[in-house]
Each structure stands twice: as structure tokens, then as C-alpha cells.
Amino acid sequence: MSSFASILSKISFTSFSVFLTVNSFLIIFDTTLRDGEQSPGASMTKEEKVRIAWQLERMGVDVIEAGFPAASNGDFEAVKAVADSVKESVVCGLARAIEADIQRAGEALKGAQSARIHTFIATSPIHMKNKLRMSPEQVIAQAVKAVKWARQYTDNVEFSPEDAGRSEIDFLCQILEAVIDAGATTLNIPDTVGYTMPEQFGKLIRSLRERIPNSDKAIFSVHCHNDLGLAVANSLTAVMNGARQVECTINGLGERAGNAALEEIVMAVRTRQDYFTCDTRIDATHIVAASKLVSGITGFPVQPNKAIVGANAFAHESGIHQDGVLKHRETYEIMRAEDVGWNANKLLLGKHSGRNAFRNRLMELGIELESEEMLNNTFMRFKELADKKHEIFDEDLHALVSDEVLILQECYRLISLTVHCETGEIPYARIVISDNGNEMRAESQGSGPVDATFRAIEALLVSGAELQLFSVNNITSGTDAQGEVTVRLRKSDRIVNGHGADTDIVVASAKAYLSALNKLCSKLERAHPQV
């Protein structure tokens, strides 16, 4: 079956809207790697972005927004790595309406099979006056220039009028008509601050499509934020009013309260085909796997009552509900758990598994390690885990790989940890840390073993960071499951998340704290795309 990217390469974007109407496709544009990463503490390494991109590609995501190449050298390299790795999906890079940004995006996307540049400029009166300090005429002129610059690198250009929800509709019509004439093929209407109500947003999309003379030459897209909990509702209302692309993220990850959740958009449209006139190309059986992967990499746990991917999404506590489901599933379930990937994680490897079986399973999961040395190290750590834990699941393998990547990048590394807890006694921890190869030792008391461990680390490193979050989750089920710990630290204006996994939760906590400190040590500064 030919990929969507290859189909796109065979048709002009002028006729693309007609193609979509005939085939009733809703384009899924995933921005987990860009907008999702703007969640405080959710930064991802290049390797982690590639792993998530492979999972998105496997799921059938049409467009993957890989990042903001002009933000930093690290962001540029990450977008380039995704562009070079992904074959089936369109890879997109974000750029402000600035020539240098667009040039940077074009360079990062050179290796993509199918590339898109997404450029934007603010259009609301409050943004134009107070942030841009530009007149409406200047904003239109800059937008047109930006689209023409982007067309030098690709004929797949997306334009967004930032803060469209608070923009004047007459001005929106003017600027969108101008950028279509300049060569924009997708018009993305963002509700940047999550301010718009569903009915209001739906009317906006319909009005723009009806009032812009050349609107038939572009695809209308929406990008909704969840500040009032309306991102999914606004997106779906927009689809009912002619939008044919939705920008969303796995688990609804994103800046402030987050973005529209991909899994909710996809399953709402698919479940209610009596209501929607289009469907997505997403293979929904990969949704839960994608959710767990993103949660594990970012350290943002999924709340149990989260729609589709929450642990309780298909659980029935009430006796009445249980009785109904047993008699006829559809009495209380509007979709099957299996359809979104639940019950898919089975035992695959054990302590007797060989190196080739291990490598093959990693490849099936879309994980490619950079070197034989990394593979050997990860395999050794897999064997160690298998001695402690009877059942090894896919989530365990993802955690192992993440841990190995972190080890290669760290200044501080846990060598050993001893903790002592006894009823009626003050807990204490004794720790040995490697600081760029130099071993350091310290011990400390605390209110519990984790508190004592953190105090011992601080006694050595004196980071001055403020602990803002300590979160513990099990990666899989069972008392022998690996515990996954997320630690959020703040120092000055920087916020970072650290992650650690181990069958010993105190060891996992120490790893997470050191992981966060390693990130604070990194001097990589990222530009914010909205500035």
C-alpha cells in the first residue's frame, strides 16, 4: 500500500483539497515533538524524538512536526535526524516569519522524503501592537514574504495566523487570501490561548472558508489549546465546519494546559462515523503504545481516568455496568479496548533470550541503537533486569534504552547507594557518585529513604535547585515491576524533568534526581517559538 507521503508527491497541492474531499480524509498533524516539548520539563533528546517519530509513523500519522530548528543547535539536529529517519510521513519544521528561521528549517528538512515548512505570525490586535509592534499592513507583507521564502525549499507550506481566535475576521480574511496567493497550501487557524468556545470556533472556520475567494486552493487546519478544557471540542467542531487537518499531540501534551489529544480526536471521529463525514488514516491499535512511549520519555504520567489511554478507560467498577458489559459489551463500551491497543503488551523476552532476539525485538519497536557498543551495554542491562524481574515487557525495553541514552550524556552518574530504614529509627543514605569520572561519597539522614538520598546528593553537588515534583509510577504490573520516577527541579528560570527507572524505587529516585541535575548542567539554551 502506497504511503500518504508518496501520494502527496504525485498530486499538486492545488488539487489536494479536491483529493481530500473525494477521499474523506482528515489529516492528522502531530506536534508532540514541538508543541508537546514546550511543556515545562518535557524536553527530549534527539534519540528520543526519533523513537517517538518512528512510533507516530507506524501509527500512520500524516504530518509530524519535528521541532523548531531555529530554537537551538540541538533542536536543529533533532529535526534533521527525524527528517532523515522518517520515510512514510511528511516531516514538518516550524519557523517564525523570519528569513533566517525559514532558512534554518529548510536546511534541517533537506533529507526528508516529504517536507513541510510551517511559518506563522501573530494577527490579533493585542499581539500586533504589544509584541510585534507592527501595523496590520506590515504583518501581511511579512507573512507573504515568509511564504515565498518557504516556497524556495518546498511546495508544501503551512501558514498560521497566531492568536487567530482573538483576531478580527476581516483582517484574517485579508492575510489568508494573500498567503494563499503567495503559495501557502495549508491554512492553520490556532486557538493559541484556548479562549474560543466551540460554537464560536466552528463559525469562524466556516466564515473563513466562505469569505476568502481562493479558499478552495488550500486545506484548512486547526490547532487548539486546552486552557479551558475545550481543545478537542473546538477541534471537532472545526472539522464539522470544513477543517480537514487537526493539529494535536499524544496524551494532549503541550504548553500550559496542553493541546488537543490525538487519541481523542481519532477515536471520536472513528466512533461517530454517523456524525462525521470524514475519517483518519490512523492505525488505532498503536495508540496505547504511543501513549506509553511518550509518557515514559517525558515523565508525564497519564491520569487513570484519561479518555482512551487512561488505565481506567475500559474498567468497570459498578455492578450494573459489569453486568451490562458481560451480557452485551456495547451497553457500556462505545469502542473496544483492543482497537486502541490495550492488552497488547505480552511477555516477549526473558533471561534466557539471546542477543539477536533482543536486537530483533528492539527493531520491531522501532528502536535503532547508534552503535554495537550501545547495543551490548543495553543487552547487559537487560540481562541484569531479567534476573530481577520474571517478565520483561515492551515498556521495560523502552525504559532500558532511555536509561542507556541518558548514561552516555551524563556528567553525574550513580555508582552505588546504600539506604537504611528501621521502625523508630531515622533513615539514612550513603551514596557514591561519579562526577566526570571522579568518585565522590556522602551520607545523610532524612525523613525517609528518598529524602535521605536527595539530601546526600545535595551535600555533594550543592546544586541550589528547588524540588517541584516527585512522582512515582509503575512501568508494568506486578510487585517486581520497574518503578519509574520523575523529578522536576527548578533553578532560576530553568525547569527540567529527570527520569529514572529501576526495580528498587529508591535507586530509581536517585537516578531521576541526577538525571535532572545533568540537564541543569547542560548549557543548551532554546529560543521560544512564540517570541
| Judgement on whether residues 97 and 241 belong to the same structural domain of the protein | yes
| Residue with more model confidence, 274 or 521 | 274
| Judgement on whether residues 255 and 364 belong to the same structural domain of the protein | no
Dist CA 29 CA 35 (whole Å):
12
| Contact of 212 with 177, CB cutoff 8 Å | yes
What's the pLDDT at 4? 52
* pLDDT of 260 above 90: yes
The phi, psi pair for 159, rounded to 5°, reads -125, 135
| Judgement on whether residues 361 and 283 belong to the same structural domain of the protein | no
* pLDDT of 21 above 70: no
* pLDDT of 3 above 60: no
Buried b (16+ CB within 10 A) or exposed e, 104-115: bbbebbeebbbb
3 within some domain: no
CA-to-CA dists, residue 431 to 410, 413, 443, 458, 459, angstroms:
17, 11, 6, 11, 10
Write down which residue in 367, 383, 406 finishes a domain.
Answer: 406
Name the residue range of residue 369's domain: 355-406
What's the pLDDT at 523? 60
| Judgement on whether residues 328 and 362 belong to the same structural domain of the protein | no
8 within some domain: no
- Each residue's pLDDT tens digit, 224-239: 999 999 999 999 999 9
Confidence of residue 358 (pLDDT cuts 50, 70, 90): confident
7 within some domain: no
DSSP character string of 126-184? HHIIIII---HHHHHHHHHHHHHHHHTT-S-EEEEEETGGGS-HHHHHHHHHHHHHHT-
Dist CA 213 CA 216 (whole Å):
8
| Judgement on whether residues 229 and 208 belong to the same structural domain of the protein | yes
5 within some domain: no
Number of domains in the chain: 4
| Judgement on whether residues 102 and 174 belong to the same structural domain of the protein | yes
| Residue with more model confidence, 352 or 235 | 235
| Judgement on whether residues 398 and 428 belong to the same structural domain of the protein | no
CATH of the domain at 47: 3.20.20.70
**163 φψ region: left (φ > 0), alpha (ψ -120 to 50), beta (else):** left
Beta strand pairing status for 115-122 and 90-96?
parallel
441 within some domain: yes
Confidence of residue 524 (pLDDT cuts 50, 70, 90): low
* pLDDT of 183 above 90: yes
CATH of the domain at 457: 3.30.160.270
| Judgement on whether residues 513 and 440 belong to the same structural domain of the protein | yes
The type of residue at 374 is M
What's the pLDDT at 132? 92
Confidence of residue 525 (pLDDT cuts 50, 70, 90): low
Dist CA 187 CA 219 (whole Å):
6
Residue of 364, 308, 307 whose CA lies nearest to 338: 308
Confidence of residue 482 (pLDDT cuts 50, 70, 90): confident
| Judgement on whether residues 111 and 217 belong to the same structural domain of the protein | yes
333 within some domain: yes
303 within some domain: no
| Judgement on whether residues 259 and 394 belong to the same structural domain of the protein | no
69 within some domain: yes
| Judgement on whether residues 172 and 222 belong to the same structural domain of the protein | yes
* pLDDT of 181 above 50: yes
| Judgement on whether residues 200 and 171 belong to the same structural domain of the protein | yes
